[in-house]
Amino acid sequence: MKLAILSLVFGSAAAFAPAGKVVSTTALNAGLSKGEAPPGMVGVLPPAGFFDPAGFAESASDEELARFRECEIMHGRFAQMATLGFIIPEKLAYDGAFGDDFLAPTGRALEAVNTDPIWLGLTLGVVSVLETLRLVQTEPGGRSDGRNEGIGWRPSDPEEFQNYQVRELQHGRLAMLAFAGMIAQELVNDKPLLVNLQDMGLTSF
């Protein structure tokens, strides 16, 4: 359980990897029609295009739209780590790595709420502290960077950096959908994710 918790903690820290400002602050959003992308918006990809079914961009200012994108980036980063936080402890429980009472009785990652609430609370506390520090140390419109440009992960070539941004957005979007699907699936049949995959013949242990 501790290993799984640590993976979440380190993952939340990794969420501050630089992504740069994905939305141009000079974008003119006024008068946008539904489905129309603002100038400078990265991540507008087929087949969905500029996915804004609720029409939020139509009335959003440049600052509000930048805030929406920051939220999408951060949610995507945490979702990528959360998927690992599901898979790793369930695999350890399946292998009996920490005894019969680890994630008992179902072996689902959601059982951590009942079996080890202290570690869960500590994890949420660490994540909250990291998020608070990020908000305090950064400015609106640029909070996706997290002031970690010195790490050197950001490509120097502008075209490659744009590809970097697109990849991060796509990975984060997929992870958010995947994490929601994991929770829904386990709540429906009370089986761990990996056991369901095994029952479907998609994997074996």
The residue ranges of every structural domain in the chain are 2-17+61-199
Amino acid identity of residue 57, one-letter, is: A
pLDDT reported for residue 94: 82
By the 8 A CB rule, do 73 and 19 touch?
yes
47: exposed, middle or buried (C-beta count within 10 Å: 0-12, 13-18, 19+)? exposed
| Weakly modelled stretches of the chain, pLDDT under 50 | 1-30, 146, 148
Tokens for 124, please give them. 């949420």
Tokens for 16, please give them. 């501050």
pLDDT reported for residue 119: 79
91-121 residue pLDDT tens = 888 888 877 777 878 888 888 777 778 878 8
Distance CA 51, CA 45 (A): 9
DSSP code string of 123-189: HHHHHHHHHHHHHHHS-TT-TTTTT-GGG--S-SSHHHHHHHHHHHHHHHHHHHHHHHHHHHHHHHH
Residue the block writes with tokens 């790490």: 151
pLDDT reported for residue 78: 87
The answer to whether the pTM exceeds 0.85 is: no
Distance CA 176, CA 75 (A): 7
pLDDT reported for residue 105: 80
Element at 205 (helix H, strand E): none
The domain made up of 2-17+61-199 has a fold known as Chlorophyll a-b binding protein (1.10.3460)
Under DSSP, is residue 116 helix (H, G, I), strand (E, B) or coil? coil
Tokens for 149, please give them. 């440009």
pLDDT reported for residue 205: 62
Helices (H) and strands (E) in the chain, counts: 7, 0
